[in-house]
Chains A and B, each alone.
Chain A
């Protein structure tokens, strides 16, 4: 079990995370927050790249920074910015990382072949990576994270740069890989984790806002999400009164999905909230800023 206890992190005077408490047991965790909310900072602490200013991170009761090699030996990590040597083939690069991960040479050879097969790169394994597409490179990234058969797999924005088809492929791959592991998947793309995460962690205002199952988190908006059709002319006025979650054109009308604490009109249809609704509502200030 991986436990984050009362962890705070700041860069100089800029506080990024405050008093974070999270427990991870086997399963897939979706770390969901807009860019800049502190996801990568948390992940970098979980991967020993950053040191917390306060608090500690324990794996099976031992501080991960004291465990050193022992902790990193059970860790697989795909950083948000996955670096690689352009002139290396996938096989060469995985061989290099296998050496860094302390895998015995023969074992590494077998494992690399298995993983290249798994991520669908076996037929291009000896081609230089500079010839790979973004999706192929990302698959090498996933393979390297899996090299040491980690007990903790941390993936930071793993679907960045992937096309929709590759995203689906990645989700399926992850579902397959995630048995008997702690998988922490950081993203700001809701659909990436909607179908595979056992629990979602949302960070807001430097703190953990939610750490719960998707259903439980969605229940926080139960009875508040509606859909209705309105004239385009009314759209602006409507948006001023209610928080719009999504809008689409339907004939000469606009179908709008929105938040309201009460049902004020019979034409409004109450719908089940999904995690994207919660995300948009929770981070509405950030969404507006980003928009």
Chain B
């Protein structure tokens, strides 16, 4: 336990912590900040979000036929609101635009009319004009949901899954792509920050001691070559601590996006952009993405430690580490963290990919440990 504590102290030394904080601040402002701040600013995603908050309050988890009729009424009320707004403005009257119907059919080639459109939508940013096209779109989605859902199936297995969703009525879930896309985008950047941070703290773990010949003292002390395993354990523990801290920070920031009302909503909604192989709620999806990131981080820890134990100089280790890290991060953010469990991939692709990653990294490290036990320590 004392040795483990010493090894952890070596990993989390002051210099490393300061650099780690700097790296994360830079990564936050480069990749994460936009998706946090823009969520409550960007249009129409925030309008969609507000519409769904309202739907969630009114309809709950799913929108049934009766509730859909209410949704249509709300759409009509919104049109009336838009009509009233248009009629309250003299410039619209002069241009011969008397209601929302006229507004959407305006000839936007006409400079004056285009100017009016811009004034309402972009300059004044009147909410109802942003919401109405989407309300209309979602009514169409609901009415044609079976057809639209089935259109997303490219093969028999996918079709079976879509039919299963339709049978269960999950497609009417009050969940939307604005929240889902935002979360995925954030998760991509956060997992990248996590993996870069892990590589940064883990890379020196064996290299520093081997390069500075401290391994001579370690291997000839009572613990001997078992220090290799202690460092391995310390590395995995350090990664776990680091990832947990980073997730705590991330979810504290993410909570400001205020999406908790959607946590228990099924993600296989007609209003979302994923069809999953599984009946997942948003909180299930979040949990899976967190577990996935932990697994990726632990796998990259093992691989970084392997490279660290083989190299003799920082330049050599970074030279090997960078392409491996780059490959894992790109693959992870494209296939392993983004749109997890989607039917666009074969059903067991995700599980298999993670199992293969874990197995490869474990086998490599176990082989390395077996070699280390028998190796001549020349350097």
Contacts and interface: CB of A to CB of B under 8 A. Distances in A.
Q: Do A and B bind each other?
A: yes
Interface of A: 11, 44, 47-51, 68-69, 72-73, 75, 77, 79, 81-85, 87, 95-97, 99-102, 105, 144, 148
B216 interface: yes
Nearest to A68: B224
- In the A-B complex, the 4 residue pairs with the closest CB atoms: A83-B213, A100-B221, A83-B214, A83-B212
Contacts of A50: 376-378
A72 B222 contact: yes
A100 B222 contact: yes
Interface residues of B, number: 25
B159 interface: no
Contact of B217 (A68, A73, A77, A95): A77
Contacts of B227: 100
Contacts of A102: 221-223
A79 B216 contact: yes
Contacts of B252: none
A148 B223 CA distance: 13
Nearest to A49: B377
A50 B227 CA distance: 17
A87 B377 contact: no
A245 B224 CA distance: 44
Contact of A72 (B6, B10, B209, B221): B221
- Which of B215, B217, B219 has most A Cβ within 10 Å? B217
Contacts of A84: 212, 214
B2 interface: yes
Contacts of B213: 79, 81-83
Nearest to B209: A83
B216 A83 contact: yes
B218 interface: yes
Given A83-B213, A84-B214, A99 B3 contact: yes
Contact of B222 (A82, A101, A144): A101
Nearest to A70: B222
B13 interface: yes
A149 B170 CA distance: 72
A69 B212 contact: no
Nearest to A87: B13
B374 interface: yes
Contacts of B13: 87
Interface in B1-15: 2-3, 6, 10, 13, 15
A251 to B, nearest CB: 49
